[in-house]
Structure 1
């Protein structure tokens, strides 16, 4: 059983809506334990084994070969595209490292001034050795790139501003 970011997010939301205090999923590749925190609407996640198939969890899963570590409670779900006046911010859906191009010797996916279409890849976020392509959710013109190449990013951090068209 492999979990992707969407499934993990749904699992956390479903757990939050129940009286279940703890849920553990195990398979040969990983073990994931979700525990509700004392405050309503918060869950604490534990994970072991670095073979989780997706590191796209906004809760910044801690994965180690050592005993599981507690992780900070999830942040309020922020939309991937947030309005800033007439500009839209493309935000990071996970904690990781921001890359502007598919490889060090290749040109960037987008530059300031480029026109983009919804669904177009605009960057890569590397998390736990997995390269996650981030696709634009709006069409328009890139007016600002807010993060430098190979810089660490946080969940919800603005990456680019787009003038929607």
Structure 2
């Protein structure tokens, strides 16, 4: 099976969020499996100077209002590239479906999209910070 067919199968796995995919034809057999890292336990440590609070502290400091959480373990990026402006800023109005950031997982850039319309109240993680599954990332005004 040629590499383009394999890439197409990988894209299908990502699009449909499949963990396993097996394809057998007359001359070929391909079995693909995606492995997800289990979320690491959160450690209660004091943040280093200039760093954001650790995930456990961020979770306890959340106030009223809706929150967008990370759908996976990965690295959060607030902009498409280092020289570009961030996708969103505090006080900015967003619509459901707008890109709030990118989470890189397994060398794949996954957009973090707004699930609702609202005004950004707080960005709870820093650019290039590792985020855990379910970790609050963006909070909307109540």
> Normalization by structure 1: what TM-score?
0.55
Q: Which has the higher contact order (CA 8 A, sep 6+)?
A: 2
Q: After TM superposition, give the deviation of residue 86 of structure 1 in Å.
A: 4.2
CA–CA distance in structure 2, aligned partners of residues 94 and 5 of structure 1? 15
The question of 1:122 aligning with 2:118 is answered no
Tell me the secondary structure at the aligned position of residue 17 of structure 2.
Answer: helix
Paired residues in the alignment total 105
Structure with higher helix content:
2
Q: After TM superposition, give the deviation of residue 31 of structure 1 in Å.
A: 2.6
Structure 1 unaligned regions, length at least 5: 12-23, 33-46, 48-59, 63-70, 73-83
The question of 1:26 aligning with 2:22 is answered yes
Structure 2 equivalent of residue 151 of structure 1: 129
Tell me the secondary structure at the aligned position of residue 13 of structure 2.
Answer: coil
- Of residues 14, 22, 30, the one that matches 1:4 is 14
Q: After TM superposition, give the deviation of residue 30 of structure 1 in Å.
A: 5.2
Structure 2 equivalent of residue 53 of structure 1: none
Matching of residues 48-63 of structure 1 within 5 Å: 61=36
Tell me the secondary structure at the aligned position of residue 87 of structure 1.
Answer: coil
Matching of residues 41-120 of structure 1 within 5 Å: 47=34, 61=36, 86-120=64-98
Q: Would the alpha carbon gap of residues 30 and 106 (structure 1) be closer, same or farther in structure 2, given more than 3 Å must change?
A: farther
Which of the pair has more CA radius of gyration? 2
Structure with higher strand content:
1
> Normalization by structure 2: what TM-score?
0.63
Structure 2 equivalent of residue 42 of structure 1: none
CA–CA distance in structure 2, aligned partners of residues 101 and 61 of structure 1? 24
Q: After TM superposition, give the deviation of residue 135 of structure 1 in Å.
A: 1.0
Q: Would the alpha carbon gap of residues 30 and 111 (structure 1) be closer, same or farther in structure 2, given more than 3 Å must change?
A: farther
